[in-house]
Chains A and B, each alone.
Chain A
Amino acid sequence: MNQFADYNPIIMSIIKTNNLERFYTEGDVTVKALNGVSLNIEEGEFTAIVGPSGSGKTTLLNVIGGLDSPTNGAVEIANTEITNMKDNELIDFRLKNIGFVFQAYNLIPVLSALENTEFIMLLQNQPKEKRHARAIALLEEVGLKDQIYKKPNEMSGGQQQRVAVARALASKPKFVLADEPTANLDSKSTGDLLDIMLELNEKEKTTFIFSTHDQRVIDRAKRVITLEDGKIISDETK
């Protein structure tokens, strides 16, 4: 049965979740990390998921990104239900459809900024000339034209996170998931990164969904979804 049968589809929806539940068992205690989350994210949104620690932000992003399976409920990405996909199918799906930006940057330490950006396109078997040109274009876009041959350990945290954004966008994903992308950055780097993400959002209609505690990020988000105890308690569009 299609779990979205009674869900009201919205044109251009890129992410739909229906009554998502994710329970963990710790000893005798069952923790409800997600407790009936239904949401709908449209193409081109710049959405912040906020809430206190333990509210389920990271779990929600994990489930949307196909990195974790819900206990109940379903996730549909661009009209494809991913909940029951096998591991290899999910990896392929993520490769083609989802960009990830991590709190700790998580670039491949032995590759240069250019190679890190090209990496996903290489996994997609893009020809060398095209991936090279796109990687350079993306690195220019994030203001790292002069740093393309630097390894991650030769760059600042802010620069590394910009490379991470370039990497996330390299495969032209349907959306980018970012978990606390500014958590390790100083205020200048945070501002620069937000500018880049907003510019990409506005000019290329790239959809960003990120979790954050950072008020500066929340202030600039166009939609703010607040979670508490695994439930959505508010959903505001500015």
Chain B
Amino acid sequence: MFGFKTQSQTSNFKLQTLNLKPQTSNFKQNIMILKLAWRNLWRNKRRSFITIASILFAVIFVVFMRALQIGTYEAMTDGVVNMYTGYAQIHQKGFWDDQNLDNTMPYRQAMVDSIENVEGVTGVVPRLEGFALTSFKDKSKGSLIIGANPEKEQQILKFETLLHQGEVIAPNDNRIMVSEGLLKYYQMQLGDTLVLLGQGYHGMSAAGKYAIAGVVKFRNPELNRNTVIMAIPTAQWFFSTGERVTSLILEKEEFTGVEKMVANVSAIVDLNQYEVMDWQTMLPELVQSIEADNVGGVIMAFILYMIIFFGIFGTILMMTSERKYEFGVLISIGMKRMKLAMVVLWEIVMLGILGVLSGYTLVYPLIAYFYFNPIVMEGEMAEMYEDLGFEPIIPTSLDPSIPITHAAVILLIAFVLSIYPILKIRTLKPTGSRRL
């Protein structure tokens, strides 16, 4: 009578001969859960695309904003820490609070050798720093005098890299190098003589005249305006300090934390005589200004997260309401509530992952571009940055922790939001949501 009757004769045989004993296969059920979740995602394409787009734009905005912020902090830190103070220093106890030449410490090679053997330390760089009045023709200016060993400053001041004109002085050179800003101020040339006048160790007069061998260009604007670099013996002679230095800068192994290195060094030096300080302790103003600015960025990120939160929540509310009937059917025919909850959880997490990945795909080229081509500030903003001692640029950061952190937050939001449909599924009455 009906077309399918002939087929039924063969299929009856099949039905009766099949062995239907259950066999455990949770893996297959998990695949089914993922498959269902993925397909459900595309049931309402427009809504899924809108949700993904809202996550995408928020990711672009928040990741780019944070990359700019953190990039700026890195540039600030790099300009001061990596290129001047180093990550940690040893001084005579009390020097950092009262920075004058009377608080210098004797340079002891045995001590330096033992510190160089400490785990995490790759080198010890001595410096003698002070201030003096510099003068050329009819101009004079207060300047920072850095007594340094150019050969040992390969990792920190990196004179070869900073050299703008002339040559780098030798470790025992009697000539000096000046910063590019100072050279411009005095309108000097290589070979000209700069007169220095100041106060040395224990009130001694410090006076001398030095030929200019080279010009260096610091990225830090404050250093670039006012700095004179001498070999350490020359500076020790100028300040009458004998074999004393103001600081020993610790060079850090790449993968050793600063805190660990400081702890290791503190364990072998006499802390009654010396102080071991990391850059954050030495430069609390820098740390505080970064932290204060960072709070603004975190608040902005929080606002964006709220937008994402409510965007996804709206989708979830609609989806849960629309599919209450379907959920009831699935529970009726034998799908465990937990499995159903997993399907919904995966749908929400997949939405989050798609939004985050597509956001990263678009934002990363932008971040990379501004990393290699930082925004250069001009005018008053540039002056303000320079007054604070920072290079007037806004680069981005390629730090992988930025996207990872934001991906984690967005996925956390997805997980938190999935509680709503999971609770609904948990308490759903099959008969309340549907007619049998």
Listed in ascending order, the chain A residues whose CB lies under 8 Å from chain B are 58, 61-62, 65, 67-68, 87-88, 91-92, 94-96, 100, 102-104, 106, 108-111, 119-128, 130, 133-134, 136-138, 140-145, 167, 171-172, 177, 179, 192, 195-196, 199, 203-204
**What is the bound-complex CA distance between A5 and B24, given in angstroms?**
38
Given contacts A110-B36, A130-B19, A141-B7, A204 and B12 within 8 Å (CB-CB)? yes
A137 to chain B, nearest CB (A): 4
Q: Are B29 and A125 in contact, CB atoms less than 8 angstroms apart? A: yes
Min C-beta distance of B207 to chain A, whole Å? 88
Q: Which of A92, A127, A143, A179 contacts B3 (CB 8 A)?
A: A143
Check: B137 CB closer than 8 A to any chain A CB: no
B374 to chain A, nearest CB (A): 48
Q: Is the CB of A203 within 8 A of B28?
A: no
A-B contacts besides A102-B434, A123-B29, A204-B15, 10 pairs, CB < 8 Å? A91-B331, A102-B436, A110-B42, A124-B20, A130-B19, A141-B8, A171-B20, A196-B4, A199-B5, A203-B8
| Bound Cα distance A100, B330 (Å) | 11
Q: Are B15 and A61 in contact (CB under 8 A)?
A: no
Q: Is the interface of B mostly helix, strand, loop or mixed?
A: helix
On chain B, the residues within 8 Å of A104 by CB distance are 435
The interface residues of chain A lying within 8 Å CB-to-CB of B11 are: 136-138, 140-141
A192 CB contacts on chain B under 8 angstroms: 2
Q: Which residues of A contact B295 (CB under 8 A)?
A: none
> With a CB–CB cut-off of 8 A, which chain A residues contact B26?
125
Whether B335 pairs with A102 at a CB distance below 8 angstroms is no
Main secondary structure of the interface of A (DSSP, over half): helix
Residues in A whose Cβ lies below 8 Å from that of B40: 110
In the complex, how many angstroms separate the beta carbon of A205 from the nearest chain B beta carbon? Answer: 11
The answer on a CB contact under 8 Å between B335 and A123 is yes
The chain A residue with its CB closest to the CB of B32 is: A122
In the complex with contacts A134-B14, A140-B10, A92-B20 CB distance below 8 A: no
Of the residues A88, A108, A110, A133, contact of B336 by C-beta under 8 Å? A88
Give the complex CA separation of A117 and B49 in angstroms: 30
Instruction: Find out whether the CB atom of A134 lies under 8 angstroms from the CB atom of B18.
Output: yes
Across the interface, which residues of B come within 8 angstroms of A125, CB to CB? 22-26, 28-29
Contact present for A122 and B36 (CB under 8 Å): no
A91: chain B residues at CB < 8 Å are: 331, 334-337
- Contact A143/B333 with A106-B434, A111-B39, A125-B29 known, Cβ cut-off 8 Å: no
